[in-house]
Amino acid sequence: MKILTSQIKHIVHCCAFFALLAFTYTFITQPTTNIDPWKEYGYIPSIVFYILSGLPLLGLPQLLFVIIGLLYFNQFRENLTLNGPLLEAPFLCFRVVTRGDYPELILSKLRISIF
């Protein structure tokens, strides 16, 4: 009897993600100070600080797509059934993709590399 199926694991994974999100939200919300950086630091340092503070937002699209993928697709698959015994399967497979130029050279390099 399986207690944790792949669907249950995925639901627990999604719930843990939202719990982590809610837990970190409590620490992110902090009171902010109201200073004017243009008057406090000047124009050039303020521009540099604004550019540097905006750089982490460049990774935001990738982060959003990774989160969507982790929440939408089930990461915990059931065990696969094999079509045949594992000992009869080939252990090494070479695939050579070429344009077809110099076939004799390709065959000789493959023979040298494999044997």
Most confident of 20-34, 67-81, 98-112: 67-81
Average pLDDT of the residues of the chain: 85
User: Which range among 7-11, 15-19, 55-59, 95-99 shows the weakest confidence by mean pLDDT?
Assistant: 95-99
Mean pLDDT of 82-88: 78
42-83 residue pLDDT tens: 999 999 999 999 999 999 999 999 999 989 998 888 887 878
Looking at residue 22, what DSSP letter applies?
H
pLDDT at 1: 43
pLDDT at 44: 94
Model-wide pTM > 0.75: no
C-alpha angle with apex 61: 65 to 16, nearest 5 degrees?
A: 45
Residue type for 18, please?
A: F
